Amino acid sequence: MTTQPPFPSNPDVVIIGAGAAGLGAARRLMKGGHSVLIVEAANRVGGRAWTQSDSFGVPVDMGCSWISGSNKNKFTKIARNRGFSLVDHTEADTALFIEGRKATPAELYAYERAGEQVEKAMNKAGKKGHDVPGSTVLPKGLPFLGAAKAWMGPMDYGMDFEDISTLDDYLSANDQPSYIVAEGLGTVVATLAEGIPIALNSKVHRVDYSGSGVSVETSKGTIRARACLVTVSTGVLAAGGISFIPELPVEKQQAVHDLPMGLLVKVPLLFDGARLGLKENEWMSYDIPDTSPTRACFLISWPFGYDYVFGNIGGAFGWELSREGPDATVAFALEEMEKQLGSAVRKHFVKGLATDWATNPLTHGAYAAIRPGTHGVRKKLARPIAEKVFFAGEAMGGSRSALVDGALNSGRKAAKKMIKVLKV
């Protein structure tokens, strides 16, 4: 339970969004002696960091779950200091299947090599400064190329290879080692809300920065402040979820356009306790044809010993399934499992969920990926307007972009800029 302090009537800063970026910025601003109010459209804090326990009776991370690059990730310390249980998931085993049978060690080796080859090809192009679609640099005819592409494209970036920038990939920080949290990473992020004034169920419609200060119009009334920080996703900005007076400068609109949202749909599937030959916290993947878009649902089995697996479906195929709805998504995930593991899957299946990040008007996708050929756009998006409308969020997380700690860092960085401006 978080304690809600009273809402300031005319705060120095209004922050739009109570995700990692908004919470990180608020804490930094309050530490600097400024009054803040976060306005959040949803009925909970955390945004795309969300652990829910209602459906299966145990924690399920519907958004972020890995503390990746955990040696340098701020959430490792935050989680440890607050007593959460971290499990090192860096060396997780992979159960690889080929047409319904377990792969041989030689096949597993070839599969792992395919992943390395794809990564190598991307790095080689990025290192030379080439900012081109990943699909143009990949080796051809490799065994397991379809699966290797699925991992790095739809599962990682939420994008198919045509839409991944080689340079942006090269500039992204290493994501190993990697920890997962038994209580849920969303629960860790939510603890950052402690002591921050947050107005939930308050959707921002308009930000007017034409006069002195800013005027933020919400579903619960208008708030005036000296400055505001916008932390909503580029998906929300692109869809016109918030209007600005005056309109956002063309450069800013272009930056939003050049950081479209990727999609990762999570598909948690509850079973009756049967383990189906899969181990705890293990990856299950399988050989797939090299098609575009990629059609795959790779999964983690029995995280922390809980009785569910969670499937991951990403990229263009994820958008397609999301339009069809959660039943179609769960059905696809089950079919894919059944093809590899047999009829025991249906026998022991209890119920399934599919996340709605694609159709949710507060996200419009999972996380942003840079359009190939637009290097530098993250900085353009983060540039403040008129020294009173600031921007932060995962899309502006530098080498940690798309990640939850990238969002936190970007919020803290924006707060620092604001503290300088507010001093004047």
Ligand X SMILES: Cc1cc2nc3c(=O)[nH]c(=O)nc-3n(C[C@H](O)[C@H](O)[C@H](O)COP(=O)(O)OP(=O)(O)OC[C@H]3O[C@@H](n4cnc5c(N)ncnc54)[C@H](O)[C@@H]3O)c2cc1C
Residues that bind ligand X (CB under 6 A): 16-22, 39-42, 47-49, 63-66, 68, 203-204, 231-233, 236, 241-242, 264, 266, 355, 357, 362-363, 366-367, 393-394, 402-405, 407
- From residue 51, alpha-carbon distances to 183, 307, 308 in Å are 8, 16, 14
Provide, rounded to whole angstroms, the least separation between the CB of residue 40 and ligand X. Answer: 5
Smaller CB separation from ligand X, 283 or 367 = 367
Smaller CB separation from ligand X, 66 or 298 = 66
In order, the DSSP letters of 209-263 are: -SSSSEEEEETTEEEEESEEEE---HHHHHTTSSEEESPPPHHHHHHHHTSPEE-
Provide, rounded to whole angstroms, the least separation between the CB of residue 61 and ligand X. Answer: 8
Smaller CB separation from ligand X, 103 or 321 = 321
Residues in contact with 346: Cβ distance below 8 Å, sequence separation at least 6, in sequence order? 334, 338
Smaller CB separation from ligand X, 24 or 134 = 24
Element counts in the chain: helices (H) and strands (E): 13, 23
Provide, rounded to whole angstroms, the least separation between the CB of residue 154 and ligand X. Answer: 12
The runs of H, that is alpha helices, within 82-218 are: 105-127, 145-150, 166-171, 185-190
User: In this structure, are residues 346 and 338 in contact, taking their beta carbons and an 8 Å threshold?
Assistant: yes
Q: For the packed helices 404-423 and 20-31, what is the interaxial angle rounded to 10 degrees?
A: 40
Q: What are the E-state strand segments in 41-139? A: 51-52, 60-61, 66-68, 86-88, 94-98, 101-102
Provide, rounded to whole angstroms, the least separation between the CB of residue 165 and ligand X. Answer: 17
Smaller CB separation from ligand X, 97 or 308 = 308
Q: Report phi then psi at 398, rounded to 5.
A: 60, -135
- What is the C-alpha separation between 336 and 330, in angstroms, rounded? 10
User: In this structure, are residues 112 and 283 in contact, taking their beta carbons and an 8 Å threshold?
Assistant: no
Cα-Cα-Cα-Cα torsion 143, 315, 75, 195, nearest 10 degrees, comes to -170
Smaller CB separation from ligand X, 103 or 259 = 259
Provide, rounded to whole angstroms, the least separation between the CB of residue 412 and ligand X. Answer: 11
- What is the C-alpha separation between 232 and 8, in angstroms, rounded? 22
Smaller CB separation from ligand X, 226 or 266 = 266
Instruction: Respond yes or no on whether the N-terminal peptide bond of residue 177 is cis (omega within 30° of 0).
Output: yes
Provide, rounded to whole angstroms, the least separation between the CB of residue 100 and ligand X. Answer: 28
Smaller CB separation from ligand X, 252 or 266 = 266
Provide, rounded to whole angstroms, the least separation between the CB of residue 149 and ligand X. Answer: 19
Smaller CB separation from ligand X, 16 or 95 = 16
Provide, rounded to whole angstroms, the least separation between the CB of residue 8 and ligand X. Answer: 17
- What is the C-alpha separation between 32 and 35, in angstroms, rounded? 9
Provide, rounded to whole angstroms, the least separation between the CB of residue 99 and ligand X. Answer: 29
